Amino acid sequence: MSIGEKIANIRVNKNIESKKIAKLLNISNKEYNMIENNMRSISIRKLNQLSNFYRVSLDYIFGLTNNPQNDNTRDTIDYRYLSFSLAFFRKKQHLTQRFIAKLFHVSPATVGKYERYSYNINPLYLYSYAKYFNISIDYLCGKTLKKEVL
């Protein structure tokens, strides 16, 4: 299930109209519907807003877990911690930025950018990274102390 399908499913299950979510995210209803229909991407910042609003983890939104429970200790993403974590886990496995770039189909410059400043990180990159290293997205973002996906 894609991110768009997942957030649509959560919204429908909670019986919330799309225009309310669009307003929450400060975007048009048309733009929000495009996100749910996978015709437009959504930023990690807006995904975090949805995670907090619905009280589910980012891991649940990304489909890394079927457990909707949110055990996060923070509502905000710590972008410095995220950048640090991306570099830390890569280096811990003795992997190069070039290897990660090839693995995730991005440029080495993009990997370097995310490891220095992850504010505009592509959610699909973050998902691929979490899957590859078998680590929680919420943990990578500094929202929880639980490293593993529950």
Question: Which 8-state DSSP code applies to residue 76?
Answer: S
Check residue 22 and give its pLDDT: 97
As a CATH number, domain 3-61 is 1.10.260.40
Question: Which 8-state DSSP code applies to residue 124?
Answer: H
Sign of the torsion angle spanned by Cα atoms 16, 61, 149, 111? negative
Q: Where are the domains of the chain?
A: 3-61, 79-140
Indicate if 79-140 has the same CATH topology as 3-61.
yes
Q: Which fold has domain 79-140?
A: 434 Repressor (Amino-terminal Domain) (1.10.260)
Question: Among residues 143, 148, 145, which one has the least CA distance to residue 48?
Answer: 143
Check residue 72 and give its pLDDT: 75
Q: Provide the angle, in degrees to the nearest 10, between the axes of the packed helices 97-104 and 108-116.
A: 110
Check residue 69 and give its pLDDT: 80
> E strands, the chain, where?
none
Q: What are the average pLDDT values for consecutive 10-residue runs of the chain, which has 150 residues? A: 94 96 97 96 96 95 89 89 97 98 97 93 96 96 80
Contact indicator for 106, 121 with CB cutoff of 8 Å:
no
Check residue 150 and give its pLDDT: 55
